[in-house]
Amino acid sequence: MLSRLMSSSIRSLDRECNCTVRLLDDSEYTCTIQRDAKGQYLFDLICHHLNLLEKDYFGIRYVDPDKQRHWLDFTKSIAKQMKSQPPFTMCLRVKFYPPDPAALKEEITRYLVFLQVKRDLYHGRLLCKTSDAALLAAYILQAEIGDYDPGKHPEGYSSKFQFFPKHSERLERRIAEIHKTELIGQTPETSELNFLQKAQMLETYGVDPHPCKDVSGNPAFLAFTPFGFTVLQGNRRIHFLKWEEVTKLKFEAKTFHIYANQKEDKKIILTYFAPTPEACKHLWKCGVENQAFYKLEKSSQVRTVSSSNLFFKGSRFRYSGKVAKEVMEQSAKIKRDPPEIHRAGMVPSRSCPSITHGPRLTSVPRTRRRAVHISIMEGLESLRDSAHSTPVRSVSHGGSFMPSRGQMVDGSEVSTSAVISDEAYSPSDSVLPTPVAEHGMEMPLARHLNGSTCSIDEKESEAGTSKEGQAAEFGPGRRALHMVQSRPSPQGDVEELNKFILSVLRLFLVTIGLLFALLLLLIMLTESDLDIAFLRDIRKTPEFQQFHFEYFCPLRRWFACKLRWIGGFLISQ
């Protein structure tokens, strides 16, 4: 009896596993789940722990053993998705950024989104002008420490906080000046809301960058935002497609296709190549989910999407959550007392050791003040930091700033020059190594700003150290619309030929399989007792008579004999 109880308890332990989820404030939530538990169970546990009702904006991010990032599928088993042994480690992150953070119903939801966007600013994904950077940092400072108090906040107090990977002394003084004079009396709730409203106007709000290459082999970044699909390449933002314009997303192996209809029935097909087939599939699934969430009116309109036009090949995927409009309608029905919020103090992120104590940049000399545009390099956050796509090598960036959304008209950039202020705002990332960067390939993401462009030369350093960027001056640019008909490289020709041969071979095998299935069906019909005219005609032909007596009948007797033998063997046992 004792051994039976012990064995049952051991089996029970084998069916359980520990799971740790890092939350947006860098705290950790640990729980024990059954091995067959689905993602929805874990997500509900976390939302209950956070007292969160507007939970459809959030998701759980994890990394597989191949360093490829994924969003946890709430409809599938956690253990089967992780592809690794427990204990499991994951992160809670914002998956769908609210198009208007001020429209969120509850303060707890805004606070969590605030933590995510603050993290984006800290790790260099949210780029802005130096003046906007100072204001955003001042909002964070006001939300974290409250009003300025000379007794508590000595000279240079803003330098104790790390808002960006790198910043200058002059930027620190500007942050302190705004905090002292312009934000007096603002509560943490008000400061957080003002921060989100300011961030929402920036070009890179909610950007989820995926590193790829175009048909010519040039590095590019694809991004899905609350407002549409963006392609950033070289020194320019070459495409911006609203979700209403995107008609279809497809992928095959490493190749990703975007189909869109623009004004005057202008059809566009964009083709890009992901680093790995897994990264391409993740990119495709992210695009399908974002398009369904932001574009559709009801979740009942969601359809199963295939990655290919042919039914017998490719992956099939269906977004299983609510859409943005339904989430807003459901949020409006929430009626409860506001939950208590335990705001965490401002501490350096544990997940970015390489930039926790980033050096400050001295002010730019007057002789070097010029029109400069910035480039965000390939860094995406590591597993413990990011809500975003495939990780790449650690880099730092030169001075950076981004235009506001108001400077964009119908997806076209206004060709005017902008001048950076005296400070050099320098965002950077700390990330894990990944198979994304092949043969040490660097994948810079350069931004287009008001028609002008920029470039930053980067020198790769060892892990844990940043790279210094040297910005060069550029003249005014022009609007670029890079179409698919660019001349492919020889390597691209070989890949295209291989894909074509593979497709033809696959089509041939499927055709043979269908013909064989039809032949079996015809044999079954002709050997049946169905009395149909065309079957009677087939049965009377000499060929059928020969097949029936020389092949079919002996084969049927052989199968019958084997089945009787197996049946007798099973009965005797």
- pLDDT tens-place string over residues 87-134: 999 999 999 999 999 999 999 999 999 999 999 898 877 878 888 999
Among 98, 112, 117, which residue's Cα sits nearest to residue 328? 98
Residue 242: predicted pLDDT: 93
Among 567, 166, 109, which residue's Cα sits nearest to residue 399? 166
- pLDDT tens-place string over residues 54-95: 999 999 999 998 899 999 999 999 999 988 888 999 999 999
The residue-averaged pLDDT of 251-259 equals 92
In terms of pLDDT, which residue wins out, 443 or 139? 139
pLDDT over threshold 60, residue 368: no
- pLDDT tens-place string over residues 16-49: 899 999 999 999 999 999 989 999 999 999 999 9
Query: Do 420 and 372 form a contact (C-beta atoms < 8 A)?
Result: yes
In DSSP terms, 428 is beta-bridged to 396
Q: Does domain 101-126+128-200 have CATH number 1.10.1840.10?
A: no
Residue 310: predicted pLDDT: 59
pLDDT over threshold 80, residue 457: no
Residue 128: predicted pLDDT: 83
DSSP string over 361-407:
BPPPPGGG------EE-S----TTT-SSS-----EE--S----BGGG
- Taking the C-alpha atoms of residue 137 and residue 132, their distance in angstroms, rounded to an integer, is 9
Provide, rounded to the nearest whole percent, the portion of the chain with pLDDT above 70.
70
Average the pLDDT over each of 63-77, 151-165, 170-184, 307-321 and give the range with the smallest value: 307-321
- pLDDT tens-place string over residues 395-425: 333 333 333 333 333 333 333 222 223 333 2
- pLDDT tens-place string over residues 288-345: 999 999 999 999 999 988 877 655 566 889 999 999 999 999 999 999 998 988 887 6
- pLDDT tens-place string over residues 493-510: 676 687 788 878 888 998
The DSSP call for residue 547 is H
The residue-averaged pLDDT of 244-249 equals 92
The residue-averaged pLDDT of 513-524 equals 87
Per-domain boundaries in the chain: 16-94, 101-126+128-200, 208-332, 513-566
| Cis, bond preceding 101 (omega within 30 deg of 0) | no
Average the pLDDT over each of 210-219, 221-230, 353-362 and give the range with the smallest value: 353-362
The residue-averaged pLDDT of 348-372 equals 37
In terms of pLDDT, which residue wins out, 458 or 268? 268
pLDDT over threshold 50, residue 372: no
DSSP string over 117-156:
HHHHHHTT-S---HHHHHHHHHHHHHHHH-S--TTTS-TT
Q: Which amino acid is at 390?
A: T
User: Predicted confidence band at 393 (pLDDT cuts at 50, 70, 90)?
Assistant: very low
CATH code for the part of the protein at 16-94: 3.10.20.90
CATH code for the part of the protein at 208-332: 2.30.29.30
Mean pLDDT, all residues of the chain? 74
The residue-averaged pLDDT of 562-569 equals 88
Among 19, 158, 144, which residue's Cα sits nearest to residue 92? 19
User: Predicted confidence band at 135 (pLDDT cuts at 50, 70, 90)?
Assistant: very high
